Amino acid sequence: MIKGGTFVGRYILLIVLFLSLNQIPAMAKERFDYEKTGKITWEVKTNEKMVAITFDDGPNPVYTPEILDVLSKHKAKATFFVVGKHANTYPEIIRREVLEGHEIANHTFNHLNILRDSQKLENEITQTSDALKEITGFSPTLFRPVGGSYNDVIINTAAENGYHVVLWSWHQDTKDWKNPGVNTITKRVISGIKPGNIILFHDSGGNRTQTIRALDRILTKLEKEGYEFVTVSEMLFRTHTTQNN
């Protein structure tokens, strides 16, 4: 029984491993195919020492202003993927972001992860666009889907509404929403940093004190290494990345 059980266990393990390994090319090919359309960006190829820092889910009345203070201290520019209903509630923060040279982008109106309903997704995008135009005088051109989800519906709906989809470098998800600790957040960014990376933070959705402290450390370290902190649109423009909307 033991020998038979061991054999069966090993056989099952081999099957699971085989299936897992065969998923890797499929995932890579999926991303590659989407990138070829020019409608979505995870990161850019460049030799210039620049990165794009991004924040999701704000604005938040407590944490976003503190993040803006840290960015100002380091003369860093960032891209804020804002939730429309939060923008309506705190329009003065959105105006401050624009006045200080940051980029405002679309992250749906109600922070809904919509995968199949193109009309519902379009409504979410349009509501946020209208809100931001009312606040700032112009509509954004970048869209980040909730949860980083992407498929034909999401990408094509965004493109048809004049948006380029922006996610983030896979190794630059700080997972700060889990509050893993300032040192952990800092290490995740610093250890794998490369020119052209897009880094994911959050400025709302919970206590972002760790994010603020880690951000200051990260900017201080990367400044010493000669990095420049630019908006996503500036990085795309400087690397001649085509935005096919």
Residues acting as catalytic residues: 56, 202
* CB atoms closer than 10 angstroms to residue 11: 10
Which neighbouring-strand residues pair with 55? 80, 201
Q: What are phi and psi of 198, to 5 degrees?
A: -115, 120
**Residue 94's closest CA among 124, 142, 128?**
128
Question: What angle (nearest 5°) sits at the alpha carbon of residue 169, between those of residues 44 and 21?
Answer: 115
In the chain the beta strands, taken as DSSP E runs, fall at 40-41, 50-56, 78-82, 103-106, 142-143, 164-166, 198-202, 228-229
